[in-house]
């Protein structure tokens, strides 16, 4: 243990950290979720610090005026702080709206599903447009990734629009339809022990080496080393040549992994790998 491990506990939630790796940066957080939460806390602290100094007095300024003052370009860190607070406020508003929708006895449960699905689609398109606007304004992929709590590579893979250097066709056009959703379903089948369902889309080569019994053994070895699966993050689908890759961050009891599911052009699973931090 190094002196930077802080007693081998997460600086955000206090949970024990996984055993340190032999190489790489010292770990301070138990998961990407805690890392993002800590970043948001620091951003909000920056706003409070600027308020207590000389930017604006909260008691003398309305919320709307304060927001306007906080985004003045020459205020150090204010833009990032306001963006973090906006994200927190957006989640709170969304939770309140969904809570009202789901609590209405007269509303059909299927109508609620349709509403949420439609809203998710609109939000996804809005996020893509917002990222493109940020890029046109000169923001880097690292800037975008910092706001989203992901790496600049992950931000590019999710929102970038690279073109095939041979055909000039957008790489996204080659992506297997619904790859992210299919990847999430595969992880759900793994967690539930539906071994045969996991392999229903394996291509011939993968199926020869990994039948239902093999899938069960693989999952048993993994969970035997790092504990049960506690949380699956948001799937990220992107194109790499002829292949569509789906990366899903997984939080186990004792470690983090990223499952990478590779789909070929026929939509069959051509690869299934569990990658440690730093290899995804």
* Cα dihedral 158, 277, 2, 142 in deg (nearest 10): -10
Report pLDDT for 5: 42
> 78-103 and 141-148 are packed helices; what angle lies between their axes, rounded to 10 degrees?
40
Using the structure block, give the residue that is written with the tokens 């602290």: 45
Per residue in 257-278, pLDDT (tens digit) is 999 999 999 999 999 999 998 7
Lowest mean pLDDT among 34-43, 57-66, 227-236, 269-278: 57-66
φ, ψ at 231 (rounded to 5°): -160, 140
Distance of CA 20 to the CA centre of its chain: 23
The pTM score is 0.53
**Can you tell me whether residue 169 is helix, strand or coil?**
coil
The two structure tokens encoding residue 92: 């709170």
Q: How far is CA 205 from the centre of its chain?
A: 30
More confidently predicted of 73 and 202: 202
Residues 62-106: tens digit of each pLDDT: 443 333 333 334 443 555 555 556 666 677 777 777 777 777 776
pLDDT confidence bin for 215, thresholds 50/70/90: very high
Task: Kindly give, in sequence order, each residue whose CB lies less than 8 Å from that of residue 112, ignoring residues fewer than 6 positions away.
Answer: 101, 102
């Amino acid at each position: 243990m190094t002196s930077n491990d802080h007693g081998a506990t997460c600086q955000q939630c206090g949970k024990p950290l996984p055993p340190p790796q032999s190489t790489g940066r010292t770990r301070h957080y138990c998961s990407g979720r805690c890392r993002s939460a800590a970043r948001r806390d620091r951003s909000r602290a920056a706003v409070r610090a600027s308020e207590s100094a000389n930017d604006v007095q909260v008691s003398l300024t309305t919320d709307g005026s304060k927001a306007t003052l906080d985004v003045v370009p020459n205020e150090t860190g204010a833009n990032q702080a306001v963006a973090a607070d906006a994200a927190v406020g957006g989640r709170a508003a969304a939770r309140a709206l969904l809570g009202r929708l789901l609590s209405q006895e007269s509303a059909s449960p299927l109508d609620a599903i349709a509403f949420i699905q439609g809203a998710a689609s609109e939000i996804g398109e809005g996020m893509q447009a917002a990222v493109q606007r940020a890029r046109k304004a000169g923001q880097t992929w690292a800037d975008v990734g910092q706001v989203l709590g992901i790496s600049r590579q992950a931000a590019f893979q999710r929102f970038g629009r690279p073109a095939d250097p041979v055909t000039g066709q957008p790489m996204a056009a080659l992506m297997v339809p619904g790859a992210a959703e299919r990847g999430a379903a595969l992880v759900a089948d793994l967690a539930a022990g539906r071994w045969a369902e996991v392999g229903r889309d394996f291509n011939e080569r993968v199926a020869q080496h990994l039948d239902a019994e093999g899938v069960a053994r693989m999952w048993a070895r993994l969970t035997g080393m790092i504990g049960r699966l506690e949380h699956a993050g948001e799937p990220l689908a992107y194109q790499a040549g002829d292949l569509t890759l789906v990366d899903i961050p997984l939080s186990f009891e004792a470690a983090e992994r990223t499952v990478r599911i590779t789909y070929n052009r026929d939509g069959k699973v051509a690869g299934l790998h569990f990658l440690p931090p730093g290899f995804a």
